[in-house]
Structure formats: structure tokens, C-alpha cells
């Protein structure tokens, strides 16, 4: 099985409500349990790879998309919930 990269993870997170729900459940786990969870879903990427994708995609997003996970900087939210534990 080929693992999906950071760009695919971010796209799925933004567009696929099922994956988004699973990722939000992952974010609720203790930090020491989060690391393998994205891999179980079929993703493999480093925090740097995810951060690079976020920086590139941020400028292409609408304001509504940037607020998908609530107020605050989308990059900070995504990295704290999923990126820094990989």
C-alpha cells in the first residue's frame, strides 16, 4: 500500500468530512498517542512536509476555508493538532 503524502492529507482534511471527523478524533487523543494515528489512516509525512504544504496552500484558500477549524491561524491549528506529533 502506498502511503499518502502531506498534500493529500491536507486536501482530505479540508474536503472530506469523513476524514476530517477521524482527524478531529485523533486530535483529541493524548499527544503521545497521536503520532501513529495518521499512519493508520494511510498517511505518511514529516511535520516539515505538512508545514510546507500549509504555507503554499494558505494563500490559495478562501477566508471561509481558513476558518474551518475556528478562529486563529490555520497553520498553527493544523500543526498543533496533527503535524507536530508525526
Burial category of 86 from C-beta neighbours within 10 Å (exposed 0-12, middle 13-18, buried 19 and up): buried
pLDDT at 35 over 80: no
Residue 70 has pLDDT above 80, yes or no: no
pTM of the predicted model as reported, rounded to 2 decimal places: 0.78
Tell me the backbone φ, ψ of residue 81, rounded to 5 degrees.
Answer: -85, -35
Residue 18 confidence (pLDDT): 92
pLDDT at 1: 42
Q: How many residues does the chain have?
A: 86
What is the mean predicted confidence (pLDDT) over 53-63?
A: 86
Amino acid at each position: 500500500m502506498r502511503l499518502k503524502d502531506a498534500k493529500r492529507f491536507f486536501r482530505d482534511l479540508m474536503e472530506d468530512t469523513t476524514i476530517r471527523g477521524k482527524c478531529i478524533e485523533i486530535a483529541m487523543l493524548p499527544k503521545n498517542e497521536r503520532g501513529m494515528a495518521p499512519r493508520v489512516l494511510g498517511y505518511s509525512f514529516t511535520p516539515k512536509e505538512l508545514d510546507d504544504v500549509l504555507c503554499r496552500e494558505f494563500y490559495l484558500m478562501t477566508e471561509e476555508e481558513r476558518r474551518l477549524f475556528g478562529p486563529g491561524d490555520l497553520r498553527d491549528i493544523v500543526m498543533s493538532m496533527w503535524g507536530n506529533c508525526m
